[in-house]
């Protein structure tokens, strides 16, 4: 556990970076520090490994004041990941990862063996271990940075906006990788970001900082979104916090419909009759293994040759799908909003259609169950 007890950082010119911070980051969990620039979140993180020395209060790791530890030895016992990875350009990837174990006196063979294990753990190929940092993409370099931080198996991992310098697609992949790693390793993670969506996705607990280094609220992501303590926190988390909160409700609760789902081998005439009997303006056409092919409007079905197979017709794209067992109501709502039919397609782990749900049905489920 990381404990901040009245931690203050005041600079000689009078600037206050942290103002009496009291906070506990539980062992084995991810605590996210979030706030705008200048709010003190990075200063708080750096007091843990003594890159910043507070002018008041104290920081403890599992009950021990960090000031009782030699700074160099303390830092070697704590994983540290920064925005630009901070890799040594003249060392190979494997040697970068092995840096801390070698400093701790591990033999070279053992250190490199550990580095190879971690390379695989963070999703990189063995051959990439022989490359130099400049030969990797930004996202790959960040993975190496995470591997290096984990090399000596530290109980504490500090991460200072580690994914903010990569593009959104890579960033989402790195976030997913961190969630996977944490589910296996259960480190005590202190993670700094200015992005509330990233905080909500990664954090077991979120600490929101005001300008001037004041802690405004510490809560679980769901409670933070549901009950911000004041106007400042409400404005910071965003006025679309209700939509964000849907991330905490499983899509498996939805009542999906199958009466408008038709196999592509059936005919346009059959589709027209189904549309007439159900009153559905859109029909979802599926192919082999019940995978979605696209949407067919009732009007187009009625106008087509009644003997023509559905899979041979021009179909509208089905947009995003959502995974019924793994995704949230937010994912289902997003899929419905982006669908040309105004309906979301739910699939099972194998990609087969389970059913569909309309925007109206989604709204009713959200309002009725979680309003």
pLDDT digits (tens, 9 = 90+) for 163-218: 887 788 888 888 888 898 888 889 999 999 998 889 998 999 999 999 989 999 99
Q: Are residues 240 and 281 in the same domain?
A: no
Q: Are residues 238 and 268 in the same domain?
A: no
How large is the average pLDDT for residues 22-41? Answer: 93
pLDDT digits (tens, 9 = 90+) for 231-249: 999 888 887 777 778 888 8
Q: Are residues 151 and 204 in the same domain?
A: yes
pLDDT at position 205 is 95
Q: Are residues 241 and 346 in the same domain?
A: no
Q: Are residues 168 and 45 in the same domain?
A: yes
Instruction: pLDDT band for 368, please (50, 70, 90 cuts).
Output: low
Instruction: pLDDT band for 370, please (50, 70, 90 cuts).
Output: very low
Q: Which of 53, 106, 48 is closest to 78 using CA atoms?
A: 48
Instruction: pLDDT band for 371, please (50, 70, 90 cuts).
Output: very low
Q: Are residues 256 and 320 in the same domain?
A: yes
288 pLDDT above the threshold of 70 = yes
44 pLDDT above the threshold of 70 = yes
Domain containing residue 134: CATH number: 3.40.50.300
Q: Are residues 284 and 353 in the same domain?
A: yes
Which of 223, 248, 273 is the last residue in one of the domains? 248
pLDDT digits (tens, 9 = 90+) for 329-358: 888 998 998 888 889 999 999 999 999 998
Question: Range of 353's domain?
Answer: 251-370
Specify the number of domains making up the chain: 2
pLDDT at position 281 is 92
Q: Are residues 96 and 123 in the same domain?
A: yes
Domain containing residue 322: CATH number: 3.10.580.10
**Token couple for 81:** 């990941």
Q: Are residues 177 and 195 in the same domain?
A: yes
pLDDT at position 61 is 94
Which of 192, 213, 248 is the last residue in one of the domains? 248
**Token couple for 324:** 């019924």
Strand 321-323 to strand 343-347: parallel, antiparallel, or no bridges (unpaired)? parallel
How large is the average pLDDT for residues 86-105? Answer: 86
Q: Are residues 273 and 193 in the same domain?
A: no
**Token couple for 344:** 């979301």
CA distances (Å), origin 113, targets 99, 108, 282, 308:
12, 8, 57, 62
Q: Which of 31, 27, 29, 62 is closest to 45 using CA atoms?
A: 31
How much of the chain exceeds pLDDT 90, in percent? 46
369 pLDDT above the threshold of 60 = no
Q: Provide the whole-model pTM.
A: 0.77
Q: Which of 325, 343, 334, 333 is closest to 363 using CA atoms?
A: 333
Q: Are residues 360 and 274 in the same domain?
A: yes
How large is the average pLDDT for residues 298-319? Answer: 90
Which of 200, 219, 248 is the last residue in one of the domains? 248
Q: Are residues 152 and 209 in the same domain?
A: yes
């Amino acid at each position: 556990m990381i404990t901040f007890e009245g931690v203050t950082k005041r600079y000689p010119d009078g600037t206050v970076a942290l103002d009496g911070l009291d906070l506990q980051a539980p062992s084995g969990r991810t605590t996210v520090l979030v706030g705008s620039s200048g709010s003190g979140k990075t200063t708080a993180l750096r007091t843990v490994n003594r890159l910043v020395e507070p002018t008041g209060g104290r920081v403890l790791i599992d009950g021990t004041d960090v000031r009782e530890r030699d700074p160099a030895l303390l830092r070697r016992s704590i994983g540290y990941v920064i925005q630009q990875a901070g890799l040594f350009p003249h060392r190979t990837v494997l040697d970068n990862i092995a840096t801390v174990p070698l400093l701790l006196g591990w033999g070279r063979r053992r250190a490199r063996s550990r580095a190879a294990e971690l390379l695989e753990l963070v999703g990189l190929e063995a051959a990439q271990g022989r490359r130099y940092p400049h030969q990797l993409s930004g996202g790959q370099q960040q993975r190496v940075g995470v591997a290096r931080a984990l090399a000596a198996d530290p109980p504490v991992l500090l991460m200072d906006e580690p994914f903010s310098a990569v593009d959104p697609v890579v960033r989402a992949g790195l976030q997913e990788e961190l969630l996977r790693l944490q589910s296996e390793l259960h480190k005590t993670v202190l993670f700094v970001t200015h992005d509330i969506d990233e905080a909500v996705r990664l954090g077991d607990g979120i600490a929101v900082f005001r300008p001037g280094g004041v802690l405004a609220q510490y809560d679980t992501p769901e409670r933070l979104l549901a009950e911000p303590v004041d106007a400042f926190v409400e404005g910071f988390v965003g006025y679309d916090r209700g939509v964000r909160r849907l991330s905490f409700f499983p899509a498996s609760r939805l009542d999906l419909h199958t009466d408008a789902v038709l196999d592509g081998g059936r005919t346009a005439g059959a589709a027209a009759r189904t549309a007439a009997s159900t009153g559905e303006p859109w029909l979802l056409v599926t192919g082999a293994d019940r995978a979605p092919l696209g949407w067919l409007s009732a009007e187009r079905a009625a106008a087509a040759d009644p003997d023509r197979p559905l899979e041979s017709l021009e179909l509208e794209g089905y947009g995003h799908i959502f995974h019924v067992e793994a995704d949230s109501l937010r994912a289902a709502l997003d899929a419905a909003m982006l669908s040309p039919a105004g309906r979301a397609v739910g699939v099972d782990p194998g990609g087969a259609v389970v059913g569909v749900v309309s925007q109206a049905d989604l709204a009713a489920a959200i309002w009725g169950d979680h309003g």
